[in-house]
A and B are shown apart, each in its own frame.
Chain A
Amino acid sequence: MIRINRLLAISRKEILQLRRDTRSLALAFVLPVLLVVIFAYGISWDVNDIRTVIVDQDGSTRSRSLVDAFHASGYFTLEEASATSEIDSRIDRGRAQLALVIPPDFSADLGGGTPARVQAIVDGSDANTATIILGYTQAVVEAWSRDLMLSKGVTVQPAVRLRTRVWYNEELVSRNMIVPGLVAVIMMIIAAMLTSLTIAREWERGTMEQLAATPVHRTEVVLGKLLPYLAIGLIDVVLASVLGVLLFDVPFRGSVVLLMVSSTLFLIGALGLGMFISAATRSQLLATQLAMVVTFLPAFLLSGFMYSVDVMPRGLQAVTYLIPARYFVVVTRGVFLKGVGVDVLYTQALMMIAFAAIGLLLSILVFRKEIA
């Protein structure tokens, strides 16, 4: 029979142990803050200040006005070079991301019937940045030539215009996309770092024998050990969310209750999984390595938190259905950005309940007190 006071006694013991290890405890709170700051402030996919080298072989008023158009767009940091031979070394050394060559006959061709050529060479090693750079380049050139046509009195009305509207993250800030997903990743990290060691440690230090000698049920041990970490994890969720919303202006449009309930369920599942690894390996070294690969990396890479699942190979897409973080990221984004409720997120909510149940069951089943 499971007794609540025995369960709480295990929790109290775990808290005492955690409190003595102040550095680990501090790190459990420092890490989420650090991650939110780096993700929200330090990194993004937004491309600006494109280092551009311009070789203007024409040197006419027309070619200079094109260069000015690039300058005025604000996306490019321009640097002039006198010869095309300089392009090589600048791109090789990463000092330029884009090279624009305006050939000598540029203004002559503009007046004549043939289209005037402009060459754009982009460092393609970072494909995503390169695509965006080319997109900006095209837009500048197109706008410039449209203005030129207008000044000549030619108007061209396109047959179809596209009116684009963006929902949920209207300014397309990558921060708004990342912070809600980060909540899921942080919880997985906490689970991996704290619980994956908790049982293995008892085995390595020999304190498992003492625990075995006490009349506690294994369910009580597992639940008792889980409670303190659940509290830490929930504090981290609140910390990361508050930081994201207050400091980095990430919108929060949904229900706090929904976020907390689903976080609790997700956390129970993640902590259970961590404890399962711990009890199964009985070695801290192995447990950490496994926890990284089984809990943290999938949550980081396969959850859709940063990288869209749609473009993964089919086999890997199938695997993502087994990753609880994938569902949880949908919940956090739904709550933060879309402001949707349970009526939309019920599938994900059911998945959270299932994950919590499986995580707990696994950790209780694999946990043995017997000393072999």
Chain B
Amino acid sequence: MNRLRDKVERVRELVVKEFRQIRRDPRLNRVIILTPILQLVLFGYAVSTDVFDTPVYVVDHDRTQASRALVDAFTASGYFRVVGQSERPADLVASLDHGSAVVGLEIPRGFARQIHAPTGSEVQLLLDGTNSNTASVAGAYAERIVRAYGVRVQQREAVDLVDLRERAWFNADLSSRDYNVPAVIGAILMLVALLLTSLAIVREREIGTLEQLRVSPLSPGELIAGKMIPFGIIGLLDMVLVTAVAVLWFRIPFVGNPGMLLLASILYLLATLGIGLLISTLASTQQEAFMVSFLVYMPAILLSGFMFPISSMPDSFQWLTLLNPMRHYLEVVRGVFLKGVGIGALWPQYLALLGMGVSVLWFAAARFRAREG
């Protein structure tokens, strides 16, 4: 019993010392607090696959009230804004080439007359496909606007045979921000856990302070615990900070149970800190540690379902994502934030995180011991 208390006491001392050391470095302090917020703002505002205000260049050969009404229908939708207008198609081409417009709309001469004729009229839409997402969504919007315009012109009741009622669950107005901002927590926690941990340990080895700790009465296990716990606490603080900003500033709904988020974050940190520790045992210089961290971080983000849906990946990659702790963590984060689902639906994710956390940490600790012990 006493030995356990001594153990805890020694780890506590080391944790206090580590925090004192971090506190003494004011620049590091700022980095620890500011980078997560900066990341949240960048990711929160920039990561959006919504399409609106798309710049459109109009070539109106007709120049009648009817053609202007069609252009107005485009701008009034909010999905498009007109950046230029002329009568020469060459201007449209130049504007697409320069990238000042992404969509070109060409209305033929005689448009006003043709729309009342039985054959109807045909307008041309040119899409700059370099951004494939914007192009396909903008094309779909244009299709809908033109169809609505046609119905209005014919002044016929929309005699639809089938009435499709659509409802979106969990995110009724289909804003991509609600989906993306909670996920930033996963990215930030991983960056803190990987980069700070691996670099800090490698630096201590380079400077030689790790050697000093080795001659102290600390056992390797205690040394690992003492080094990991401060970063774990920093990670959890970052999590709370980012969640607060997400809810208060970005107004992301939080319908689930905060306790479930905390539990998942602790399990996730076990796995990511374990990877950080593992990297520190592989790398001999800080540069190597940085590069290996990055080599893990980038694929982890890309294959987590954060920015790209997992269901669109090839099967082999979908299997690969199961090994990615961030994937499971994001499922919990999004489930807790947006769906408010409980442990009944999310237990497989918790189990996966726990399994990964324990096994990675165990493996990393064994390697660390072999190297430092």
Contacts and interface: CB of A to CB of B under 8 A. Distances in A.
A48 interface: yes
A189 interface: yes
A24 B132 CA distance: 35
Given A158-B120, A163-B124, A292-B35, 9 more contacts: A24-B285, A119-B164, A167-B96, A201-B286, A292-B195, A310-B53, A312-B48, A337-B130, A344-B98
Interface string B121-155: 11111111111111111011011001101110110
Contact of A39 (B118, B126, B134, B302): B302
A110 B22 CA distance: 71
A30 B295 contact: yes
Interface string A311-341: 1110010000000000000100110011010
A127 B178 contact: yes
A307 B48 contact: yes
Interface in B301-351: 302-303, 307-309, 311-314, 317, 331, 334, 338-339, 341, 345
A38 B97 CA distance: 29
B123 to A, nearest CB: 6
Contacts of A174: 132-133
A117 B163 contact: yes
Given A160-B70, A286-B28, A117 B165 contact: yes
Contact of B150 (A144, A160, A167, A205): A160
Q: Label chain A's interface by main secondary structure.
A: helix
B365 to A, nearest CB: 23
Contacts of A121: 167-169
B120 A124 contact: no
Nearest to B317: A42
Contact of B161 (A116, A120, A308): A116
B97 A344 contact: yes
Nearest to B136: A172
Nearest to B176: A127
A286 B27 contact: yes
B203 interface: yes
A128 interface: yes
A316 B303 CA distance: 26
B149 A45 contact: no
A123 B132 CA distance: 23
13 contacts: A21-B288, A28-B291, A38-B299, A43-B312, A45-B309, A89-B345, A128-B50, A128-B309, A145-B162, A157-B118, A161-B121, A162-B122, A290-B31
Contacts of B120: 157-161
Contact of A201 (B47, B165, B287): B287
B50 A127 contact: yes
A242 interface: no
Interface in A105-145: 110, 115-132, 134-135, 137-138, 141, 144-145
Nearest to A174: B132
A122 B166 CA distance: 8
Contacts of A51: 311
B263 interface: no
User: Which of B35, B119, B286 has its CB near the most chain A CB atoms (within 10 A)?
Assistant: B286
Given A31-B295, A115-B161, A125 B132 contact: no
Contact of B50 (A31, A204, A311): A311
Contacts of A230: none
Contacts of B146: 160-162
A301 B309 contact: no
Q: Label chain B's interface by main secondary structure.
A: helix
A27 interface: yes
Given A125-B170, A285-B28, A292-B191, A21 B287 contact: yes
A215 B48 CA distance: 52
A169 B302 contact: no
B206 interface: yes
B172 interface: yes
Interface stretch (A2-10, A91-99, A355-363): A91-99
Interface string B183-207: 0000000010001100110010011
B164 A138 contact: yes
Nearest to A131: B174
The 9 closest A-B pairs by CB, nearest first: A169-B129, A124-B168, A124-B171, A159-B150, A128-B49, A43-B308, A115-B163, A127-B176, A145-B161
A261 interface: no
B75 interface: no
A284 B163 contact: no
A231 interface: no
B50 A159 contact: no
B39 to A, nearest CB: 7
B224 interface: no
B234 interface: no
B355 interface: no
Interface in B83-142: 96-99, 102, 115-116, 118-137, 139-140, 142
B143 A162 contact: yes
B132 A177 contact: yes
A167 B169 CA distance: 35
Contacts of A46: 132, 312
Given A43-B312, A127-B174, A160 B195 contact: no
Given A124-B170, A128-B133, A166-B127, A293 B35 contact: yes
Given A174-B133, A310-B53, A164 B339 contact: no
A166 B103 CA distance: 9
A34 B345 CA distance: 34
A27 B126 contact: no
A248 interface: no
A288 interface: yes
Nearest to A94: B331
